[in-house]
């Protein structure tokens, strides 16, 4: 499986995918922290992916999403935005509304935060 295939698999499979610099336990960038904070406050079931593991991951992700910067948040396979948009959506109440619409009324009951990696199981470029 290539990086691109693995990235697509994560985007398609996760309810909420957060591509970030570092992990929720060891955040390496203020903007990733902003996006993570907004998602946590909205009680989103976050699947986090560290893009710093390999520079190619970031390049392949941006090629897929058409979005040049990190973090990137996907809800049910659709790019929602980076830190600015996710914070704006939180402020306007749209973030919770979107989560309710796409994940269902009890989306927070499965609130498990997990970290997955792109470069596992022999994934290569």
Among 12, 84, 101, 120, the residue binding other proteins under the rule CB under 8 A is: 84
Instruction: Please report how many Cα atoms fall inside a 13 Å half-sphere around the Cα of residue 21, on the Cβ side.
Output: 13
Please name the residues in contact with 97: beta carbons below 8 A apart, sequence gap of 6 or more. Answer: none
Q: Give me 98's structure tokens.
A: 């979107």
Which stretch, 7-15, 50-58, 78-86, 115-123, contacts other proteins (CB under 8 A)?
A: 78-86
Closest CA to 85 of 40, 38, 50: 38
The three-state secondary structure class of 19 is strand
Which stretch, 2-10, 16-24, 62-70, 116-124, contacts other proteins (CB under 8 A)?
A: 62-70
Which stretch, 9-17, 51-59, 85-93, 110-118, contacts other proteins (CB under 8 A)?
A: 85-93
Instruction: By CB under 8 A, name the binding residues for other proteins.
Output: 31, 66-69, 79-82, 84-85, 88-89
């Amino acid at each position: 499986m290539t990086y691109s295939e693995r990235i697509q698999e994560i985007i398609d499979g996760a309810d909420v995918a957060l591509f970030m610099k570092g992990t929720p336990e060891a955040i390496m960038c203020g903007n990733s922290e902003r996006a993570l904070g907004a998602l946590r406050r909205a009680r989103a079931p976050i699947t986090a992916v560290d893009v710093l593991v390999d520079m190619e991951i970031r390049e392949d992700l941006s090629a897929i999403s058409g979005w040049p910067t990190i973090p990137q948040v996907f809800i049910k396979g659709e790019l929602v935005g980076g830190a600015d948009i996710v914070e704006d959506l939180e402020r306007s109440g749209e973030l919770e509304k979107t989560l309710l619409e796409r994940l269902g009324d009890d989306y927070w009951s499965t609130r498990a935060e997990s970290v997955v990696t792109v470069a596992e199981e022999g994934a290569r470029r």
